[in-house]
Amino acid sequence: MSELAIVVIAYNREHSLKRLLSSIAQANYSSKNITLHISIDASDNPKVAEVANGFEWHFGEKIVDVKPENRGLLKHVFECGELAERYGSILVLEDDLIVAPAFYSYGKQASAFFAEDAKIGGVSLYTYPCEENNYYPFQPIVDGSDVHFIQVASSWGQVWTKNQWTSFKQWLIEHPSGKNEVLPKYVQEWGNNSWKKLFIGYMIDTDRYFAFPNTSYSTNFEDEGTHATNTGLLQVSMNVGEPQTRFRKWKDSNAVYDAFFELKEDRLKALNPRLEAFDFEVDLYGEKTIDQIQSAFILTSRRGRNPAISFGSSMKPILQNIIYDVEGRDIGIYRKEDLLPAENLRFLNVIGAPSRVEQYANLAKQRFDHVSVIMPVLENQLDRLKATFEALPSTRFHEVSVLLVCPSSISDTVAQLVHGSPLNTYVIESKSSDIDELFRLGIAEASTKYCVWAQPGMPLDLVSLENAGRIFQSMHQVQAFVGCEKEVEEDAYERVNVSHLRWTPQIAISNQKKCAKVRTEWVFWRRNLFSEDDLIQLTTANLFVQLLKRTPVYPVALKLADYNKVKSVSQLTTSELKSVLSAREFQPKTGLKSLFRPIFSYWFHQNVRFFRLFYRELEQLPTVVRFDFEHNSFYLGNY
């Protein structure tokens, strides 16, 4: 059996790398011919390379590869994947991990067992304690083996053979942007700089799976207490004994799951013959949309009419109710057309989850379902930064992250100024002092789903930021929006005029000077609108028109912006605006209707009811996000 090379992926966290290498050194090995390849992406932190170079490896050759330029995680992982061709097989570990004593032995034996199985895209060292969508508890079927299979790639310790990586690489040549349409919605929202998103698309498209152990040989590391959202939900107990290696081929296993962490229907039919008569898909978590269901029937915890077969929910995990034919009406097989609208947390309600389990799911979603405020900080803005954070309430507010991106020369000062912040505050260092470079770095480092940027000196209105997150969560069609600068009174709400916030690419081209002056601070957008390549073209000046190019920017009839008299740091030129919106589809339409555009526009902005309808239809304006004060919710209106 050939020796498996260990590949460690590191960036700028020397403490994380030191911790991982320490656990690697304490593991068990039966050979002294094992290559340890430490690949370090370029960063401002020289201590990472010092830790790598100073680490003593007694079981073979050690290679420290420091990249001369920053690759970003996506390209860095791809470059490390290429090492499978050099070494034959690689065991990949990112620096924010710890490994069990038997990690290498398990990885080596599992990789050898599955190497020739065409259905296997890779081998995982990690075991999921919960599914990745809503973080509901996940317990795979125990079928007499020590493995199960999921159509999800592992990123917390994985093994690839040369053939497995080459197969993925060949697929990627044919699908350089992946296959977004086959992915679950939660994966689609990861953004275009995720290697794991591409790999999951590959596995779904080619019907491949990762082999996961039933007990974990690695876990990710979260420092308890550093931030309120670090709940340890994805940390798992590791096997500290001998490796468990009762392997079973994919075709012979009953524990095979799709990308939603749902058991495949053919495996479930083998466990309950009553299901043989139905062409169905499994949706016990209740997260699949109707469009994603290809079969006539669906087995689900959602509510519906006229179930063909129904089951109770008294057994845990919920799948056992189907396997053992538990009587009841909590779970059913329905025709797609008989399903009722989805309910939030329906899965938790069905399994009778205690409050702790419900909290488990909700807290986990908070890690990603909130706004990251990108705040570039320059040396002459430190006083304004101090004022911004001193104005915050003292109570902890968990729904907002603030990324302070600054030159390395002032990072210590910035960290001291915001010490004790009630927010999830991160200081990100950069070699650059260019505000656009800092801005792009902040977006690249954002781990939440939603982004906005602001300058030091601008107040962080926590209620407004929470409302922004609620809009994204409740309105999936809204990809970007901008709110009012002035307070909105409930008594006069119906008269609030947001016509100045209603833009389209065509209106921007027709009103270039006016659009060029639109400020981009406090414009909210979903992080996945910009890929890693898109970020190269993004600036603080062109953000608004770059968003217009990609998606409607919805106006919100509620105060979400407060510039606090802080002047704009950059302004878009009309030539740059025309360059961004140069495509033919963005040019204003000509014809008879266009002759009336200036008249309609003037009276539309005066909020004259008669002209509002004609101008809205003429320009195909996005609808308005409005607030229902009585029910504390948001809705879409025409004006």
DSSP result, 96-126:
SEEE-TTHHHHHHHHHHHHTT-TTEEEEES-
Q: 525-542: string of b/e by CB count within 10 Å (b at 16+)?
A: bbbbbbebebbeebbbbb
Given phi > 0 = left and psi -120 to 50 = alpha, else beta, which region is 561? Answer: beta
* Both structure tokens of 426: 């991160």
Cβ-contact 383, 407 below 8 angstroms = no
- Residues 446-470: tens digit of each pLDDT: 888 899 999 999 999 888 898 898 8
Domains of the chain and any CATH numbers: 5-257 (3.90.550.10), 265-362 (no CATH), 444-637 (no CATH)
| Whole-angstrom distance, CA of residue 43 vs CA of residue 41 | 6
Amino acid identity for residue 387 in this structure: A
Q: What are phi and psi of 479, to 5 degrees?
A: -100, -20
pLDDT band of residue 362 (cuts 50, 70, 90) is: low
pLDDT band of residue 358 (cuts 50, 70, 90) is: low
* Both structure tokens of 25: 């050194």
pLDDT band of residue 287 (cuts 50, 70, 90) is: confident
Q: For position 226, what pLDDT does the model report?
A: 29
pLDDT band of residue 134 (cuts 50, 70, 90) is: confident
DSSP result, 442-499:
HHHH--SSEEEE--TTS---HHHHHHHHHHHHH-TT--EEEEESS---GGGGGG---G
pLDDT band of residue 619 (cuts 50, 70, 90) is: low
- Per the prediction, the chain carries an average pLDDT of 87
Q: For position 136, what pLDDT does the model report?
A: 82
Nearest alpha carbon to residue 27 among 111, 91, 114: 91
Nearest alpha carbon to residue 80 among 69, 91, 70: 91
- Residues 151-207: tens digit of each pLDDT: 999 999 999 999 999 999 999 999 998 998 899 988 887 767 789 999 999 999 999
Q: For position 107, what pLDDT does the model report?
A: 97
On the 0-12 / 13-18 / 19+ scale of CB atoms within 10 A, 284 is buried
Pick the range with the lowest mean pLDDT from 245-254, 333-342, 380-389, 453-462. 333-342
The answer on pLDDT for 597 being more than 70 is no
Higher pLDDT, 242 or 360: 242
Report how far apart, in Å, the C-alpha atoms of 539 and of each of 443, 542, 586 are.
Answer: 11, 5, 20
In total, the chain counts a number of residues equal to 639
Q: For position 224, what pLDDT does the model report?
A: 34
Report how far apart, in Å, the C-alpha atoms of 228 and of each of 107, 398, 401, 455 are.
Answer: 34, 6, 11, 25
The answer on pLDDT for 486 being more than 90 is no
Q: For position 317, what pLDDT does the model report?
A: 87
pLDDT band of residue 594 (cuts 50, 70, 90) is: low
The answer on pLDDT for 142 being more than 60 is yes
- Residues 472-483: tens digit of each pLDDT: 988 888 999 999
Q: For position 364, what pLDDT does the model report?
A: 56
Percentage of the chain surpassing pLDDT 70? 87
Cβ-contact 607, 577 below 8 angstroms = no
Pick the range with the lowest mean pLDDT from 124-138, 281-295, 543-557, 590-604. 590-604
Interval 489-496 mean pLDDT: 74
The answer on pLDDT for 595 being more than 60 is no
Question: Which ranges in 391-424 belong to alpha helices (H)?
Answer: 411-417
